[in-house]
């Protein structure tokens, strides 16, 4: 290998490093819209307090901006509660948030159902 080839490789590697650093900066700025799915223990459970507490937990755990709650029919009268909230990707642990939501009374389980990334 001659010196010019070595320099070409170094320039190429430097370019790759610059791109990697730029991507890391984008990830740090990224926002994630997370949909949490909470399953009540039974069809008879009042979902309103579940929604209110889940939204409160989402806010306390770092949600930014507007949040939404929806209901999703599952089967046999069971209806899941969906909580949509936005977070800074590098500042939140979504599984921890779901685990906290699972502690709500009359919630059988909670999980991260969907994650959408938004850059900027």
Question: Domain residues of the chain, as ranges?
Answer: 31-118
Output the CA–CA distances (angstroms, integers) from residue 68 to 51, 52, 64, in the order listed: 9, 11, 12
Please tell me the distance from the alpha carbon of residue 31 to that of residue 118, in angstroms, as a whole number: 5
pLDDT surpassing 70 at residue 19: no
pLDDT surpassing 90 at residue 60: yes
Please tell me the distance from the alpha carbon of residue 61 to that of residue 84, in angstroms, as a whole number: 13
Identify the CATH class of 31-118: alpha beta
Q: H/E element holding 45?
A: none
pLDDT surpassing 90 at residue 4: no
- Order of all β-strands in the sheet with 78-88: 64-75, 78-88, 31-40, 107-118
Tell me the pLDDT tens digit for each residue of 85-116.
999 988 889 999 999 999 999 999 999 999 99
120 or 8, greater pLDDT? 8
pLDDT surpassing 70 at residue 32: yes
> Is the distance from CB of 100 to CB of 36 less than 8 angstroms?
no
> Is the distance from CB of 18 to CB of 102 less than 8 angstroms?
no
pLDDT surpassing 60 at residue 69: yes
pLDDT surpassing 90 at residue 10: no
pLDDT surpassing 90 at residue 117: no
């Amino acid at each position: 290998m001659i010196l010019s080839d070595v320099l070409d490789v170094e320039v190429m590697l430097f370019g790759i490093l610059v791109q990697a650093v730029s991507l890391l900066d984008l990830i740090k700025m990224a926002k994630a819209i997370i949909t949490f799915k909470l399953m009540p223990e039974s069809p008879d459970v009042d979902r309103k307090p579940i929604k209110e507490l889940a939204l409160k937990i989402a806010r306390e755990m770092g949600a930014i901006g507007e949040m939404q709650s929806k209901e999703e029919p599952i089967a046999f009268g069971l209806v899941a509660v969906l909580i949509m909230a936005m977070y800074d990707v590098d500042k939140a642990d979504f599984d921890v948030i779901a685990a906290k939501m699972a502690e709500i009374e009359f919630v059988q389980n909670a999980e991260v159902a969907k994650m959408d990334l938004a850059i900027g």
